[in-house]
A = this chain, B = another copy of it.
């Protein structure tokens, strides 16, 4: 079963609007065991829509179209489908009545004439009611062919309930169970993760494994497909067990949770509190921690001490050490972590100081050099790291490493 996705809308071909529908529909189809053969974005034009539909027809069993079902003259999906499938547009009085009623309800005024355009539908099309907006969706099973066309309105709020309503029918087409898991890894680079797991994934198609890396983490997406749901689950479970063996506690989440959430849960479970002092990461660590609802349970204080004076005055960093070793040094990172911990009266303190770039680097202290310190009741440890990338990437790598240091101390 192969599906082709078509997004209709001239604005989607400009740099100003992104087609996000196709990606979301691809995800839904994957869950139903339906493979996506292509994604095409076409302008509001009968001929272009018809061409895309015809091209998809020869190569798949399902065509899903979003957009172009509204009432204006620019909305051409009905015409495009009609041309591609050679099905005349027929006026449907029932839809027209329903549209007029709905318009009056929603807008408290008489409906405009162009509403009638939405009541013209390709012969034999089944109507999918719109529970949010006006434009109905269309489901067409093409006679004599192993082919279905599903046309949906553009706004996600409108097409999502329609996809849900069609779920059983699409599921029957997929006839497969899909099990998916996302593991998240910290402390290893993408290449290191790949090297360790490659014996298990090379040449293996089911489950399939995708590695995705970002400055925030390395993610392993595992997808198993089977007609038997038990079997799909087992395939994923077995792969997870193998990954656990070679990646160990570098895996920080088996459930696709961000690092700041995992660390927050650990702090809460252990009844511990945290304060952080940032220089080069500039507040991003506090921002990530406080993106988690309920973080006020364990997060007490963040200090973004950008100036040396602030490091001395707020955190109690020794001015002589600043002078001798510079702000970007092991000594200052440690004193920042210890100072903010003491100031906040927290169990843990983190200190980050480095050079985020693009300027400010020297041969001795290049852009990307970052010292990260973790202080707890038993002591203080400092890591010296060299990161690569843009200013924002270096900020992100630094905060990820800091969170991961704390996670390892907590487990």
Chain A positions near chain B (C-beta within 8 angstroms): 11-19, 23-24, 26-27, 30, 36-43, 48, 51-52, 55, 59, 210, 212, 221, 275, 278, 282-287, 289-291, 293-296, 299-307, 309-310, 313-314, 343-345, 356-359, 391-392, 395
Q: Are B307 and A304 in contact, CB atoms less than 8 angstroms apart?
A: no
Judging by beta carbons under 8 Å apart, are A304 and B306 in contact? Answer: no
Q: List 23 A-B contacts (CB under 8 A).
A: A14-B36, A15-B30, A37-B43, A38-B48, A51-B55, A278-B283, A283-B285, A283-B289, A283-B302, A286-B302, A287-B395, A290-B395, A291-B392, A291-B395, A293-B358, A296-B306, A296-B307, A300-B306, A301-B306, A309-B344, A309-B345, A310-B344, A314-B343
Complex contact A300–B293 (CB within 8 A)? no
Contact of A15 among B27, B40, B306, B307 (CB under 8 A): B27
The reply to whether A283 and B293 form a contact with Cβ atoms under 8 Å apart is: no
Q: How many copies of this chain does the complex contain?
A: 2
> With A300-B307, A304-B286 in contact, is A39–B14 under 8 Å at CB?
no
Whole-angstrom CA separation of A315 from B309 in the bound complex: 16
**Taking CB as reference atom, which chain B residue is nearest A29?**
B15
Determine whether the beta carbon of B40 is less than 8 Å from that of A39: yes
Q: Which 10 A-B pairs have the closest CB atoms?
A: A282-B290, A283-B286, A302-B304, A15-B27, A283-B283, A283-B287, A286-B304, A301-B310, A39-B41, A300-B307
Interchain CA distance A24-B300 in the complex, whole Å: 42
Known: A40-B40, A314-B314. 18 other contacts (CB 8 A): A13-B37, A14-B210, A16-B212, A17-B212, A38-B40, A38-B43, A39-B41, A55-B55, A282-B289, A282-B291, A283-B284, A291-B391, A291-B395, A295-B306, A300-B307, A303-B303, A309-B344, A309-B345
Nearest CB on B from A392, distance (A): 6
A357 and B300: CB pair below 8 A?
Answer: no
Chain B residues within 8 Å of A36, by CB? 13-14
Query: Are B313 and A343 in touch, CB under 8 angstroms?
Result: yes
Cβ distance A310 to chain B, nearest Cβ, rounded Å: 4
Most B CB contacts (10 A, CB to CB) among A27, A39, A290, A392 go to A290
| Interchain CA distance A19-B55 in the complex, whole Å | 21
* A301–B340 CA distance with the chains assembled, in angstroms: 13
Q: A267 → chain B, closest Cβ, in Å? A: 13
For A296, the closest partner residue in chain B by CB is B306
Candidates B13, B27, B293; contact of A359 at CB < 8 Å: B293
